[in-house]
Amino acid sequence: MEQSKRNAGLEMRKGEGEEDGRRGWSDVRLAMEELSLFKTEEKKVSTLAFLGASNLLLHVLDKIGPTLLVLRQDIRQNIERVEEMYMLNPNLYSSLVEMVKKEVDQRSSRNKDSCSRAILWLARSITFSVTLFQELDKNPEWSLAQVVEETYTDTLKPWHGWVASTAYKVAIKLVPEREIFIGLLMGQEQDYDALKEDIKIYVSAIHPLLDETYALLRTHKLDTLKSP
């Protein structure tokens, strides 16, 4: 199925009035708005909420620049893998639970190209972005390179092999200045304090989704898989 058709099926339709109201918002605030559309009981393992958080991560990495190309490519491929299964049966696969259950029953959940593995790596990557936001706020004197390195060490490095770790070590040295990155993150009509408030609300909103996703993966002993 063509990528444009998948995206059309996943996009949330917005009226022209809503578009005007959102002009100038940061990507973080837009992601918060998308998460707010899901009821609490749905948000925990909602496939669309999970994909929305994953797509925010791509926007964040785009602003860091081409230096984290390897990570962006992996995330995009994993998003497409989850989207493809979702579009097979949007009603059945509206929850990540059914996606993982199907592959566990078929004994394919640990395969290199499985949707379950894609969900695992997207969850880890979302954790990377959440931790990155928190470290930016907690360590205002750090450069972006320091923040990215610390975040990578805490969230993704334990699960990467030697090749991936080496690639990231090179990429981290090429990230832009902290001020440039923060300026790109902010909406056109935002200041830094407003961005920090958006980030705090987003982190609070995304944690239940991450917690339920990791719990689902732990149930099937999929949470400790490492890169091949």
Q: Could you read off the pLDDT of 166-200 as tens digits, one per residue?
A: 877 777 777 888 888 888 777 666 788 888 888 88
220 contacts 100 by C-beta, under 8 angstroms: yes
**Res. 22: pLDDT tops 70:** no
Residues 6+ apart with CB under 8 A from 1: 84, 87
Least confident of 27-36, 70-79, 120-129, 193-202: 27-36
Specify the pTM: 0.82
Most confident of 48-57, 71-80, 84-93, 195-204: 84-93
Asked whether residue 66 carries a pLDDT value surpassing 60, the answer given is yes
SS3 188: coil
Average pLDDT, stretch 1-22?
A: 46
Q: What is the pLDDT of residue 189?
A: 63
Strand partners, 46: 95
Residue 39 clears pLDDT 70, i.e. is over it? no
- Distance between CA atoms of residues 82 and 11, nearest Å: 15
